[in-house]
Structure 1
């Protein structure tokens, strides 16, 4: 593991990665903790803020495609749409649909792009495996 590479990365990449890791932790707690409680609602707001931070900071990460957007940036509008959908369904009391929105957002905006960030040659690959 080479954390020095991470600390040498631009601030927006560091914020992006740390927000994603925090959202992963908060999301895991949200799925395992009791639902409908004040802590669940409070952590929900934290999760939404973290996911918006992840999506917005991703717009400034363009190393893959020579300064342009790449295919992985498709997750930005999907994330923002998912956050809105998740929030609206929670506000309307549509708990079953809210649960599916949360799961879709967690898998589709955190897990899948997170795994893609560990592709050989990318920063997270280099940090984790020293490549």
Structure 2
């Protein structure tokens, strides 16, 4: 592991990485803990705030450029913000199944899969953790 890469990265990237890492842990807790409890609600709101921070911080990162300063990752961030709203709406309206599917899918696709893609050769996380 080469943490010099992390230390030398822009503050927006450092924040993005730290918040995403915490979101992975909080999201995993959500998936295994009992649902509908106070703990579930507290950790859930914490996770939503973390995911919002991950998404918003991505708009300050322009390492991968496809359309000017933007990339498909930024589209994913917009989608993530929207789908978090759907998940919250579903929970507040008693649509438990929709809430569960929405939030679990967001965890898997917006965090785990996207995080795994950062390990591709040439990406910063690949160099930091594997290279």
Same fold (TM over 0.5): yes
Contact 1:33 1:40 survives alignment (8 Å): yes
Spell out, residue by residue over 1:55-107, the C-alpha distance to the aligned partner (whole angstroms, 9 max, x if none): 00001111121861012222111110111011111111211111101111111
| Partner residue in 1 for 2:38 | 38
Unaligned runs of 5+ in 1: none
Aligned residues between the structures: 130
CA RMSD of aligned residues (A): 1.2
Q: Could you tell me whether the CA contact under 8 Å between 1:23 and 1:47 is conserved in 2?
A: yes
CA distance in 1, matches of 2:120, 2:57: 19
TM-score (norm 2): 0.94
Partners of 1:25 and 1:89 lie apart in 2 by 23
Q: Which runs of 5+ in 2 are unaligned?
A: none
Q: Whole-Å Cα distance in 2 between the matches of residues 48 and 95 of structure 1?
A: 16
TM-superposition CA deviations, 1:39-70 (whole Å, max 9, x none):
10000110000000000000111112186101
Give 4+ residue runs of structure 1 displaced > 2 Å after superposition: none
- Aligned partners of 1:73, 1:113: CA distance in 2, in Å? 12
TM-score (ref. length: structure 1): 0.94
Q: CA deviation at 1:4?
A: 1.2
What CA distance in whole angstroms lies between the structure 2 residues aligned with 1:100 and 1:51? 16
Aligned to 1:101: 102
Provide the C-alpha distance between the structure 1 equivalents of 2:95 and 2:119, rounded to a whole number of angstroms: 35
Matches for 1:1-131 after TM superposition, within 5 Å: 1-65=1-65, 68-130=69-131
The 2-side partners of 1:71 and 1:97 are apart by: 26
Secondary structure of residue in 2 paired with 1:100: helix
